[in-house]
Amino acid sequence: MSGALLKIDIRGRDGMRLRECWKEGPKTYLGIMIAGFPNMFVVTGPGSPSVFANMVTSIEQHVEWIGNCLKYLRDRGNKSIEAMMQAQDEWFTHVNEIGSRTALARANNSWYVGANVPGKPRVVMPYMGGAVQYEEICNKIAADNYRGLRRE
Amino acid 73 reads L
Q: Average the pLDDT over 22-50 and give the result.
A: 95
The domain segmentation of the chain, as residue ranges, is: 3-151
**CATH code at 3-151:** 3.50.50.60
Q: pLDDT by residue (tens digit) across 63-113?
A: 999 999 999 999 999 999 999 999 999 999 999 999 888 887 776 677 777
Confidence band for 2, pLDDT divided at 50, 70 and 90: confident
Phi, psi (deg, nearest 5) at residue 135: -60, -40
Residue type, 119: G
User: For the segment 38-53, what is each residue's pLDDT rounded down to a tens digit?
Assistant: 999 999 999 999 888 9
